[in-house]
Each structure stands twice: as C-alpha cells, then as structure tokens.
C-alpha cells in the first residue's frame, strides 16, 4: 500500500535541505564546499543542490560499484558510468550527497572511495530522506526529511527529470 | 565486405566447446577464448573496463573489490610483461597475488599439469591466470579445476589470448567509437599468433566493417579466410583506406624455420614505416601488442609517432584485465565462503 | 606357400574357454541353430544350422553323418546373423612394452567382444618385433589369454630404425604374416628401395604407413580451417601424399607387394587409384574412425579425437567412404591404440594420439551399411575376405565346411549405445561414447571355441 502522504515531495525536501546547508555555511563551518553525489539518485540531488547553492567548481560523481561490500553475495553490479572527480579533494570540505540514508553501507563505500582520491579536510553528509535501519554508526548532517518506516517499506526515488519519490512495500518492489 | 566466419556445425556428441566458459546461470566464469562470448558479453566487459580505467587515473589506484581473494599467475611459458599486467590488475582489485613461474620448475621434472593444478588448488586459490605453450591448455585446465576456481587464459599456444584482444577492442572503441564503418588490418606473423586469432573473433563479433590480414603466405595459416578476414600479400593494397593497423611481433625463430629469408626483407615488404603508414587513412591508428621489434616490423618514428596508441594499449590492458577478473569472480560468489 | 600362420594363435591352446562346459557336454563341438549365415564371398545368405568341431566348420545345414550332435553344445540363434569372424589388420595390443596401457590378455578379450577373431599386430612394440623371439612371446601370450587369434607383422628394419634390414625371411618363417616399418620412416630412399627389393625377393607382404617426418613435426590435427581456428599445429595432406608417391615409385621398380593400412585423404586415395589402374601390387585400408569423423570432431579439443593420420575434412571422409564402397580401398581396420587415462589428460597437442577401436570396428562398418553408404557384401569383404587374402590366412575369413570356426554372431536389432555398457578394452579412449548402434556382437567363436558371450 502506497503512503505517499507521509513522504515530502522531492522539491520540498530539496528546499529544506538547501536551507539547512545555507544556514550552516553562514556560520562558517563549511569552507568553499565541493559537492559530490553518489550514483545515481545522489547525483540528481547533488545536481539540484549544486545549482541552488551556486557552486563554482564542477559537481563530483561517485560510482561506488567497486567499493560495495556485497560483491561476495551479489557479484559485480552492471556498470553504467564511472566515478568522476575532476577536482583535487586534498584538504577540501566535501558535501557528500545521497538520496536516501538507510543502512549506511553506501555512504561507507563512498567515503572509502573518496579517501582513495585524497584526504579531504571534512566530509559532511546531506541526504534527501533519512530513514531508520542504520547498520553502521553513520548519521546525516542534513536531511530533507526524517522518517521511521515499517520493516517492509522502502523509499524509491526516480529521476532525473522530474525527480519523484514514493514509498513502496517490499512486496511491490 | 569481409566474409564473416561461419561457426561449423557441432555434431550432437560434442557439446559447445566454449559453453564451459559460463556457469549454470549463464554468467561468465572462465575467459578462455573470445569465441562464444557474443557481442553482449564483449560489450559488457568493455563497459566495465571503462570504470576500472578511470580508477587508474586516480591517486590511489586500488579498489577493494576482490579483497581476500587469491589470484594465482600460472605461467608455464615465461613472460614478464604479460604477467606483470595481470599482477597489477589483481593488486588494484586488492586481491592477493601469487606468481608461479612453472616454465622452469615442476612440470619440467615430469610432474603432470594436473598434479601441479591440484597442488595449487589446495592453496585455496580463486583464480588461475594461465599462460601455456600448448594450444588448448587453458581449456584443459578449466575442464579440471574445482568448481570455485575461475580460469583466465593469458595465452595458450597459437590459440587464444582473449584479454589482449579485448584491450585492443577497448582502445579502438575509445578512439573510433563505432566498429561497423571501420577497416582494420592485422599485419605480420598471423600463423603463430594467438593474439591475431583472438582479435579476429572480437572484431568480427563487434561487426567490424572489414578485417584484413597482410602477410606472406608462409606467415598465414591454412584457410585463414574462413576466420572472416580478407587476405592481402601487399602492404600498399592492404593498407588502402584502413582505419586501424595492428602490427604483430615477429619472432626470430621464423627465419630459422625457413618461413622468411631475412628480417631485412620482411621489414622492406611488411615493416610499418612512415612511408607505408601514409598509404592508410590519414587518421589511422597504429597498434602493437608489444613488445615491438623496432626495425623489424615497425619503424621507431611510427611506434612513437602521433598515430601510435601502443602505450595506451598497455595502460588500458590493466583496466580490461580488472574488468575480466571481477566479472569472472563475481560468478563464483559464495562458493568458497 | 605359407604354412606359418597356423603355428601362431590359439590353435593348440590347452586353455579351456572361460565359460566352462556343462557336464557331459563337449565344448569343442557346437551346433548353432537357425542363424542367418551371411558370407557374401561364398554367396551364402541362408538361415541354416551350422556345426563346429575340432576347431573347424564341419557342416552347414546337415550334420556330418556320424557326428555326435547330442553331446555338442547347442545355441539357438534365430533372428541373428552369423558372419565370418572379423580380421583386424592393424591394431596395437601394447604388449610387450606398454603393459601399463593394455595387455594382449585384455585386448584380445576386447577384440572378441567386438566380433574380431584375428588381430594383426604391427611391429612397433618394445622391444621391436624384429626377432623371432618377440614373435614367439606374442604367440605364447595370446595362447595364454585364449581369446582372439593374434598374428604379428614383423619389422622391416632393425629397431624400425629405417637403416639396417631386419631378418625378414626368418620373421616370415617364424610366423609373421607380413612385414612393416609401421609409420616409421626410412633413413633415405635408397634404403627404402633396398628393403622393398629384399622383401620382394621372398614375395613378402609389406605394410607401410606413409607419413613424412618433417611435414608432421608437432602436427596434431588436419592442416585446415579447424586447426587454424584452434591454433593447432597442422598436419598437411602432403605429409601423406608425398611419401605415398615415393612409395608408389618404388613399388613400380621393385614389384614389392605393399599395403597401406590407413588412408586419410582424397589426394592419397587418388594416388592409390592410379597405381592400381597401372597394375601395381598395391592395396590400401582405412580406419573405421576416418569413415565417420572429420576435423570438426577436434573442434571441442577432445583428446579422444587426436589421431594420426589426422581426421580430415568432410570431403576427405566422403571420398574415403566412396573409395571403400567401390572397393578401391580394400580393408577397414580399427587402428586400435588403447591408452591409460593419463595419456589423454593433457592439453590436446600434448596428448598421445589414438583411439581404442576394437569394439567399434564392426559396429561402425555395419552402421555404414545401415545408412546405405556401402553394401553389406563390401562390408564383410573389407573386414574378412580381403584381410584374409592380404595376410595369407587362407582358412579364415569365410564360412565354408573345412574353414576355421572363427565366427561372429550379431544381433541386427540390438539398438544399443556405446558408453552405457563400457568397453572391455583397457583403453577407454574413444570418441564414440554415446553413439547409437543397431548391430551388436552377441557371441564369438575362435577356432571352434566360444570365447565371448554377451552378458544379458
């Protein structure tokens, strides 16, 4: 059963996310941040944030296929586009962007990959939706919406144009 | 238009000889030859390789994909260069690598290939990278390995060297995009070349416009045109309108075996000089599986010239081998855990 | 006039046949009832009773007058064919010298299971069959085994080295049915010519397999499209035709009687055809696998398809079939070469060539008949009559009163497939596993003794 009413629409969630980041930026906690999206949904969100925040440097894209910890059980995921980080990450502040934060494993893989490019000064995490079910000690710095979902519920984000999100039960998916 | 290779009909008692490359789910498990892969798998390997090639541009050229897996380089024929690229590929996937140079050791003392294999299998290897002087050796090993082991053919006799052909296709694709309008010429010792055979299969599978071979008759195997190539004996005719020139390495033994009168005559007739390169298309790319014999099959100024992609082939080779290793090993997931 | 072959084999074998006899029954005497007797060389094709005694056929239709039929063993064979026992003109039994592969005991048992009653062994044993002592040893081993008759071909040169002549006349007197240098080359043409001249002096039957050593170096498959694709070192047709042409030139000068045991190519067949038309004393054979398999059977790199001479093209196979049908090719042999499993456990070019062929020789030839490729008459002729004439085995190879009681009983409607039953040979190296056959050997008599009975 779909419960779209519990989920904020994507554009509203992005607006909230952007507002939080802006206010922190004014505090001076983030210096000239580099925005990096996690393939594929995270890249869409990052792209929206990148435009909204008016960042000068190109958007970074991470494809974490080679860093996933489920290779032994699921094998190699079909690969569409490789990672693309054209800016040096050494000593930089990075906003890592994903669509949904669930177990935290994707974010762990993304951080591992980021460190293979260099040593950032700080990594902050921005997600559109932060739900329960963490399996690793990872928490978003900013989230467009926080939700508690049932064990068989999942958030599906489609995109990129337009980006939409909906709740599905695992039986549907 | 080149004559396409038509697969001979296999009688009912012989199963498709290359079906062994796939597991029961149809996933690639061994890479022994290009035959039987089809354009889908070849394209999938090349696409995956794109991701890995980008890894090698980074500061830390390593991904944790095969952490805890063991890759054994089984080289029954010594080849430092090929072994190194496989070793680097495995290490960049975070696998443990064991190099066994068997060209000089146990097998020469009468230990059978199968015994060697069983012993190394007992070391909990996950993948064998095999180089052997006999055609069909990798196929033989794949038939006899334990179910959790993948076999990657790094060259068997005159038969097959699939990763080399895949990296050549990868390099061509990066420069030229689509294969269908391309004319490709392979020049030199086709008869003794596993690389040439694999290149023919990969390029014909990817529907290359025209595939040519240029060599004297002594360096061409019988009925080579049945592999889907047009045969030329003259460089000027053969290179006309060609987009890609692949030079093969000429080994000195060929002179001793009475296949050629001299290196000089071969160079004069078939060596790729700047003069002969001008007979091809102006943007023709020059390839060589390496190591090149300068002044025997290729002129230095061509090997190092602007149309040469020889060094790029080497670096692409690592990404392509990483792709093949991870694709084959992901077929064997969970079997030995 | 030869009388030597009668001294070989199991003729005076003291060993009882392995099944034993029922009390009160003389297992030297048999009555085979109701079988369809088929021996085209005699124009015999009739359902009739046949009586065996003292190692000979003593009666067809009616028993000899005072024959004690009630103490003979009776076999009811209605619906079955009784044919002359097959004479396999070219089969390695691996003894002496390669007993880890097979022995005369195992292989002569395999022979009778395949309906073969006489096996002709080439001289490439270890030690080489270039002395009468080795010939005697083989004879004794075959007697002890008590199955098929084993006759030997003596070496033409010492150690088969192609240089010094072997004592051909002594070998002939010692019971060898022919002489041969197997597939080994002569040092040069002069020595080959002299060996043939010497053999012609005594009118010895010579068997030579043409195979040029330099053109066959490393070669393990027909030099054609399949070998090219698989990167296998090729064996060109000229490796067969060039030495065959030389051989024919020598025959025309020396007049030696020469038989080529195995042809593999159209071109070689044409040479034979011309030489025969020229009236030269040359004959030729073909192995059963060359009548069925082609280079495409090496496509799967199956080491069991690794044979020398190699499997060639479909055109070659079809030409050989036609040659056999027309009688241009005289005989069909098994080219039996049993191997231990390790000999085939290696990459294709490193494996030892050869097929374990005793048990598929007759079924494969009868399958050609079934598919209309050759006539039944030609099949039996190529397997019995012609080899009997070739090797001077005048009392074998036909069904007639007074002939040796070497007989094979075939079930023509058995419908069996190879592999489900396994091979009696010590070598299981056959590419024919899984093949379906209609005809199956049921019972085999050698010298009037039942030496094989298929278990039901």
Residues A15-62: tens digit of each pLDDT: 999 999 888 877 777 788 899 999 888 999 999 999 988 888 899 999
Q: What's the pLDDT score for residue C2?
A: 38
- Three-state secondary structure readout of chain C: CCCHHHHCCCCCCCCCCCCCCCCCCEEEEEEEEEEEEEEHHHCEEEEEEEEEECCEEEEECCCCCCCCHHHEEEEECCCCEEEECEEECCECCCCCCCCCCCCHHHHHHHHHHCCEEEEEECCCCCCCCCCHHHHHHHHHHHHHHCCCEEEEEEECEHHHCCCCECCHHHHHHCCCCEEECCCCCCCCHHHHHHHHHHHHHCCCEEECCCCCCCCCCCCCEECCHHHHHHCCCEECCHHHHHHHHHHHHHHHHHCCEEEECCCCCHHHHHHHHHHHHCCCCEEEEEEHHHHCCCHHHHCCCCHHHCCCCCCCCHHHHHHHHHHHHHCCCCEEECCECCCCHHHHCCCHHHCCCCECCHHHHHHHHHHHHHCCCCCHHHHHHHHHHHHHHHCCCCCCCCCCCCCECCEEEEECCCCEECCCCCCCCCCCCCCCCCCEECCEEEEEEECCEEEEECCC
For residues B297 and B267, is the Cβ–Cβ distance under 8 A? yes
CATH top-level class of B162-311: alpha beta
Residue B7, pLDDT above cutoff 60? no
Beta strand C436-437 pairing with C416-417: antiparallel
Residue C102, pLDDT above cutoff 70? yes
In this prediction, residues A84-88 reach a mean pLDDT of: 83
Structure token digits, residue B43 = 């394209």
Query: Is the minimum CB–CB distance between A74 and chain B shorter than 8 Å?
Result: yes
Alpha-carbon distance B302 to nearest alpha carbon in chain A (angstroms): 32
For residues C67 and C30, is the Cβ–Cβ distance under 8 A? no
Residues C225-273: tens digit of each pLDDT: 999 999 999 999 999 999 999 999 999 999 999 999 999 999 999 999 9
In this prediction, residues B95-119 reach a mean pLDDT of: 75
Chain mean position to CA C397: 13
User: Which of B114, B136, B140 is opposite residue C230, by nearest beta carbon?
Assistant: B136
Give the separation between CA C195 and CA C160, rounded to whole angstroms. Answer: 12
CB–CB contact B222 C226 (8 Å)? no
Neighbours of B320 (CB within 10 A): 29
CB–CB contact B224 C228 (8 Å)? yes
In this prediction, residues B180-196 reach a mean pLDDT of: 96
CB–CB contact A72 B337 (8 Å)? yes
Q: What's the pLDDT score for residue C5?
A: 40
User: Which of C225, C345, C350 is opposite residue B226, by nearest beta carbon?
Assistant: C225
Give the separation between CA C76 and CA A16, rounded to whole angstroms. Answer: 99
Q: Which sequence spans correspond to the domains of chain B?
A: 24-160+315-331, 162-311
Q: What's the pLDDT score for residue B108?
A: 53
pLDDT tier at B194, thresholds 50, 70, 90: very high
Q: What's the pLDDT score for residue B267?
A: 95
Residue C17, pLDDT above cutoff 80? no
In this prediction, residues C430-453 reach a mean pLDDT of: 94
Residue A3, pLDDT above cutoff 60? no
Alpha-carbon distance B337 to nearest alpha carbon in chain A (angstroms): 9
Query: Is the minimum CB–CB distance between A86 and chain B shorter than 8 Å?
Result: no
Q: What's the pLDDT score for residue A16?
A: 92
Q: What's the pLDDT score for residue B337?
A: 33
Residue C172, pLDDT above cutoff 90? yes
Query: Is the minimum CB–CB distance between B124 and chain C shorter than 8 Å?
Result: no
Residue A7, pLDDT above cutoff 50? yes
Alpha-carbon distance C232 to nearest alpha carbon in chain B (angstroms): 6
Residues C355-377: tens digit of each pLDDT: 999 999 999 999 999 999 999 99
Q: Which chains touch A (3 or more CB pairs under 8 A)?
A: B
For residues C36 and C45, is the Cβ–Cβ distance under 8 A? yes
**Catalytic residue list contains C436:** no
Alpha-carbon distance B226 to nearest alpha carbon in chain A (angstroms): 35
Dump the DSSP string for B288-317.
Answer: --S---BTTTB-HHHHTSTTB-HHHHHHHH
Q: Which sequence spans correspond to the domains of chain A?
A: 4-169
Please tell us whether the domain made up of C85-390 is placed in CATH 3.20.20.60: no
Q: What's the pLDDT score for residue C213?
A: 92
pLDDT tier at C15, thresholds 50, 70, 90: very low
Alpha-carbon distance C298 to nearest alpha carbon in chain B (angstroms): 9
Average pLDDT, chain B: 88
Give the separation between CA C304 and CA C298, rounded to whole angstroms. Answer: 9
Residue B209, pLDDT above cutoff 60? yes
| Strand order, beta sheet including A34-38 | A60-62, A34-38, A93-101, A122-131, A142-147
Chain mean position to CA C26: 31
Query: Is the minimum CB–CB distance between C46 and chain B shorter than 8 Å?
Result: no
Q: What's the pLDDT score for residue B4?
A: 46
CB–CB contact A83 B47 (8 Å)? no
Q: Which residues of B touch C226 (CB under 8 A)?
A: 8
Residue A99, pLDDT above cutoff 80? yes
Residue B333, pLDDT above cutoff 70? no
Residue C422, pLDDT above cutoff 90? no
Give the separation between CA B14 and CA B293, rounded to whole angstroms. Answer: 41
CB–CB contact C225 B160 (8 Å)? no
Neighbours of A40 (CB within 10 A): 15
Q: What's the pLDDT score for residue B331?
A: 64
CB–CB contact C296 B10 (8 Å)? yes
In this prediction, residues C173-196 reach a mean pLDDT of: 95
Which CATH superfamily is C7-83+404-453 part of? Urease, subunit C, domain 1 (2.30.40.10)
Q: What is the ipTM of this complex?
A: 0.89
Query: Is the minimum CB–CB distance between A130 and chain B shorter than 8 Å?
Result: no
CB–CB contact B223 C224 (8 Å)? yes
Residue A75, pLDDT above cutoff 90? no
Query: Is the minimum CB–CB distance between A70 and chain B shorter than 8 Å?
Result: no
Residue C22, pLDDT above cutoff 70? no
Structure token digits, residue C271 = 């040479």
Give the separation between CA C113 and CA C442, rounded to whole angstroms. Answer: 8
Give the separation between CA B8 and CA C226, rounded to whole angstroms. Answer: 9
Fold identical between B24-160+315-331 and B162-311? yes
Mutation for C interface: B136, B144, B193, most C CBs within 10 A? B136
Please tell us whether the domain made up of A4-169 is placed in CATH 3.40.50.2020: yes
Catalytic residue among C28, C335, C381, C406: C335
Residue A150, pLDDT above cutoff 80? yes
Q: Where are the alpha helices (DSSP H) in A1-61?
A: 10-27, 41-53
CB-count burial class (<10 Å; 0-12, 13-18, 19+) for C283: buried
Alpha-carbon distance B159 to nearest alpha carbon in chain C (angstroms): 4
pLDDT tier at A5, thresholds 50, 70, 90: low
**Percent of residues, chain A, with pLDDT higher than 90:** 44
| Inter-chain contacts counted by CB atoms under 8 A, chains B and C | 93
Residue B104, pLDDT above cutoff 90? no
Residue B14, pLDDT above cutoff 60? no
For residues C423 and C363, is the Cβ–Cβ distance under 8 A? no
Assess whether chains A and B touch, using the rule of 3 or more C-beta pairs within 8 angstroms.
yes
Structure-model confidence comparison of residues A25 and B158, the more confident one: B158
Q: What's the pLDDT score for residue B11?
A: 38
Residue B200, pLDDT above cutoff 90? yes
Residues B264-320: tens digit of each pLDDT: 999 999 999 999 999 999 999 999 998 899 999 999 999 999 999 999 999 999 999
CB-count burial class (<10 Å; 0-12, 13-18, 19+) for B305: middle
pTM for this predicted structure: 0.88
Q: What's the pLDDT score for residue C66?
A: 85
Residues 277-306 of B with CB under 8 A from C: none
Q: What's the pLDDT score for residue A2?
A: 45
Residues C276-329: tens digit of each pLDDT: 999 999 999 999 999 999 999 998 899 999 999 999 999 999 999 999 999 999
Q: Which of A165, A101, A106 is nearest to A133 (CA)?
A: A101
Question: Which stretch of A166-170, B44-48, B321-325, C250-254 has the lowest confidence by average pLDDT?
Answer: A166-170
pLDDT tier at B24, thresholds 50, 70, 90: confident
B24-160+315-331: CATH topology is: Rossmann fold (3.40.50)
Residues 75-114 of B with CB under 8 A from C: 112-114
In this prediction, residues A6-14 reach a mean pLDDT of: 89
CB–CB contact C224 B194 (8 Å)? no
Q: What's the pLDDT score for residue C64?
A: 86
For residues C135 and C104, is the Cβ–Cβ distance under 8 A? no
Q: Which of C9, C75, C200 is nearest to C450 (CA)?
A: C75
């Amino acid at each position: 059963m779909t419960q779209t009413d519990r989920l904020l629409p994507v554009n509203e969630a992005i607006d909230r996310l952007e507002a939080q980041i802006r206010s922190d930026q004014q505090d001076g906690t983030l210096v000239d941040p580099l925005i990096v999206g996690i393939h594929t949904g995270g890249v869409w969100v990052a792209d929206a944030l990148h435009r909204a925040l008016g960042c000068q440097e190109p958007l970074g894209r991470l494809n974490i296929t080679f860093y996933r910890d489920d290779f032994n059980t699921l094998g190699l995921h079909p690969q569409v586009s490789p990672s693309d980080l054209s800016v040096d990450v050494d000593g930089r502040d990075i906003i890592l962007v994903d669509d949904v934060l669930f177990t935290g494993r994707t974010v762990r893989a993304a951080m591992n990959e980021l460190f293979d490019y260099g040593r950032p000064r700080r990594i902050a995490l921005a997600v559109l939706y932060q739900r329960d079910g963490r399996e690793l000690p990872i928490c978003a710095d900013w989230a467009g919406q926080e939700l508690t979902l049932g064990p068989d519920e999942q958030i599906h984000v489609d995109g990129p144009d337009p980006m939409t999100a909906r709740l599905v039960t695992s039986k549907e998916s | 238009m080149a004559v396409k290779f038509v697969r001979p009909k296999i009688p009912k008692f012989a199963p498709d000889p290359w079906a062994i490359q796939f597991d029961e789910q149809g996933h690639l498990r061994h890479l022994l030859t290009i035959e039987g892969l089809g354009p889908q798998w070849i394209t999938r390997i090349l696409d995956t390789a794109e991701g890995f090639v980008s890894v090698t541009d980074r500061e830390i050229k390593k991904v944790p994909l095969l952490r805890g897996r063991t890759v054994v380089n089984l080289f029954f024929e010594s080849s430092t260069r090929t072994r190194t690229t496989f070793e680097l590929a495995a290490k960049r996937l975070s696998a443990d690598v064991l190099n066994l140079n068997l060209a000089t050791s146990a097998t020469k003392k009468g230990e059978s290939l199968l015994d060697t294999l069983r012993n190394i299998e007992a070391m909990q290897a996950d993948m064998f990278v095999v180089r052997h002087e006999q055609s069909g050796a990798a196929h033989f090993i794949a038939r006899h390995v334990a179910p959790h082991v993948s076999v990657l053919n790094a060259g068997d006799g005159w038969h097959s060297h699939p990763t080399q052909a895949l990296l050549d296709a990868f390099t061509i694709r990066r420069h030229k995009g689509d294969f269908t309008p391309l004319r490709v010429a392979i020049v030199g010792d086709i008869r003794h070349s596993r690389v040439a055979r694999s290149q023919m299969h990969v390029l014909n599978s990817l529907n290359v416009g025209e595939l040519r071979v240029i060599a004297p008759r002594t360096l061409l195997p019988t009925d080579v045109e049945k592999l889907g190539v047009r045969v030329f004996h003259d460089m000027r005719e053969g290179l006309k309108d060609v987009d890609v020139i692949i030079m093969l390495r000429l080994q000195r033994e060929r002179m001793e075996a009475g296949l050629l009168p001299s290196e000089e005559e071969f160079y004069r007739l078939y060596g790729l000089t700047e003069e002969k390169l001008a007979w091809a298309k102006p943007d023709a790319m020059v390839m060589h599986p390496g190591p090149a014999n300068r002044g025997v099959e290729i002129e230095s100024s061509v090997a190092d010239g602007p149309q040469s992609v020889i060094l790029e082939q080497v670096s692409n080779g690592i990404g392509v081998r990483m792709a093949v290793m991870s694709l084959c090993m992901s077929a064997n997931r969970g079997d030995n855990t | 006039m030869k009388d030597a072959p009668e001294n070989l084999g199991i003729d005076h074998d003291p060993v009882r046949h392995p099944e034993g006899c029922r009390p009160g029954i003389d297992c030297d005497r048999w009555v085979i009832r109701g079988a369809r007797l088929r021996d085209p060389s005699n124009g015999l094709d009739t359902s009739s009773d046949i009586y065996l005694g003292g190692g000979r056929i003593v009666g067809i239709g009616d028993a000899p007058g005072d024959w004690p039929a009630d103490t003979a063993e009776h076999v009811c064979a209605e619906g079955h064919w009784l044919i002359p026992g097959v004479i396999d003109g070219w089969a390695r039994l691996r003894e002496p010298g390669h007993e880890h592969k097979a022995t005369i005991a195992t292989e002569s048992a395999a022979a009778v299971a395949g309906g073969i009653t006489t096996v002709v062994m080439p001289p490439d044993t270890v030690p080489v069959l270039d002395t009468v002592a080795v010939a005697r040893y083989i004879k004794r081993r075959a007697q002890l085994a008590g199955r098929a008759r084993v006759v030997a071909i003596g070496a033409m040169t010492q150690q088969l080295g192609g240089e010094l002549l072997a004592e051909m006349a002594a070998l002939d007197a010692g019971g060898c049915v022919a002489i041969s240098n197997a597939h080994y080359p002569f040092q040069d043409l002069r020595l080959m010519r002299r060996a043939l001249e010497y053999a012609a002096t005594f009118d010895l039957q010579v068997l030579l397999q043409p195979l040029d050593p330099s053109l066959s170096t490393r070669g393990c498959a027909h030099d054609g499209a399949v070998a090219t694709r698989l990167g296998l070192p090729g064996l060109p047709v000229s490796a067969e035709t060039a030495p065959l042409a030389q051989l024919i030139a020598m025959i025309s000068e020396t007049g030696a009687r020469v038989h080529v045991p195995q042809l593999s190519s159209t071109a070689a067949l044409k040479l034979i055809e011309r030489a025969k038309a020229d009236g030269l004393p040359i004959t030729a054979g073909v192995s059963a696998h060359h009548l069925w398999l082609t280079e495409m059977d090496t496509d799967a790199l199956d080491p069991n398809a690794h044979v020398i001479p190699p499997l060639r093209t479909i055109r070659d196979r079809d030409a050989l079939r036609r040659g056999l049908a027309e009688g241009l090719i005289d005989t069909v042999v098994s080219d039996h070469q049993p191997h231990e499993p390790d000999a085939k456990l290696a990459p294709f070019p490193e494996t030892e060539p050869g097929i374990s062929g005793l048990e598929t020789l007759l079924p494969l030839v009868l399958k050609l008949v079934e598919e209309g490729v050759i006539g039944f008459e030609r099949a039996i002729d190529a397997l019995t009559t012609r080899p009997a004439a070739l090797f001077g085995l005048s009392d074998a190879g036909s069904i007639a009163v007074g002939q040796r009681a070497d007989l094979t009983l075939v079930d023509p409607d058995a419908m069996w497939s190879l592999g489900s039953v396994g091979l009696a040979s010590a070598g299981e190296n056959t590419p024919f596993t899984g093949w379906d056959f209609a005809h199956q050997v049921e019972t085999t008599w050698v010298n009037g003794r039942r030496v094989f009975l298929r278990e039901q």
